């Protein structure tokens, strides 16, 4: 099973990275990582777009969900049925974001394997048509050691993660709704989301400090690209609202 995973995902990603390293990156592994990250983001673009739209749609429907919970505060069965009907009418799948993450997870594991052992190996698993450059130069941009751990890079990635999460954070519950019995669980959910806004970045820094800079650099570039994707999507949605 592990061998199949390596053949299907790890080896192709490693070969693409080396290809970029040999050609358009001019033997700079940092540039090669940027090109690889852009390519991976393009490949999973439909999934990530679906995930962002789903999270944003759920946020947009939150006020209506609060109203339903207020209306059916004493009947949880009707409450759940009405909420699911709201999602159906608005063509929102509350589980689609989770599904997108599950599908993307193997790719993240493969990228981790590429940076954990692939780029540091003396014997790269290259296809016959990929030129073997020998051991890759792990010093990026002339000064940045991609094999070493870096707290500043992990911190920068955590900051980027904070802004990326904040863009999708839910709106505050109106004071009038907060006092309703049916909104107690929603208030708890809002509090959890607020905590996650800070917990995710902190976890990113902690985890990033234990990984090599090459992987954390990939993580940082990927997060920045996600932020840009969200900005473009939200800008398009605003234009559509103005037109309508």
pLDDT in tens, 13-70: 999 999 999 999 999 999 999 999 999 999 888 878 877 777 777 777 878 888 888 8
Q: Structure pTM?
A: 0.80
**pLDDT band at 152, cuts 50/70/90?**
very high
pLDDT in tens, 174-226: 454 445 544 455 555 555 556 678 888 999 999 999 999 999 999 999 999 99
| Alpha helices in the chain, H assignment, sequence order | 2-5, 11-22, 29-43, 45-60, 62-71, 76-89, 96-113, 151-166, 175-178, 184-210, 213-243
């Amino acid at each position: 099973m592990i061998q199949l995973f390596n053949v299907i995902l790890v080896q192709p990603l490693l070969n693409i990275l080396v290809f970029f390293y040999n050609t358009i990156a001019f033997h700079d592994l940092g540039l090669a990582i940027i090109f690889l990250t852009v390519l991976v983001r393009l490949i999973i673009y439909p999934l990530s777009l679906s995930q962002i739209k789903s999270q944003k749609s759920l946020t947009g429907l939150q006020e209506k969900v609060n109203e339903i919970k207020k209306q059916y505060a004493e009947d949880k069965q009707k409450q759940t049925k009405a909420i699911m009907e709201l999602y159906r009418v608005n063509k929102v799948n509350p589980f689609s974001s989770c599904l997108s993450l599950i599908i993307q997870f193997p790719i993240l594991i493969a990228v981790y394997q590429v940076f954990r052992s692939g780029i540091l190996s003396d014997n790269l698993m290259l296809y016959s048509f990929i030129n073997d450059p020998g051991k890759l130069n792990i010093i990026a941009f002339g000064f940045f050691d991609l094999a070493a751990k870096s707290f500043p890079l992990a911190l920068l990635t955590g900051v980027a993660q904070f802004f990326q999460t904040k863009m999708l954070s839910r709106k505050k519950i109106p004071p009038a709704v907060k006092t309703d019995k049916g909104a107690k669980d929603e208030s708890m959910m809002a509090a959890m989301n607020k905590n996650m806004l800070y917990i995710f970045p902190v976890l990113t820094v902690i985890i990033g400090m234990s990984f090599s800079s090459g992987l954390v650099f990939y993580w940082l570039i990927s997060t920045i690209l996600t932020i840009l994707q969200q900005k473009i999507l939200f800008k398009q949605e605003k234009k559509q609202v103005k037109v309508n």
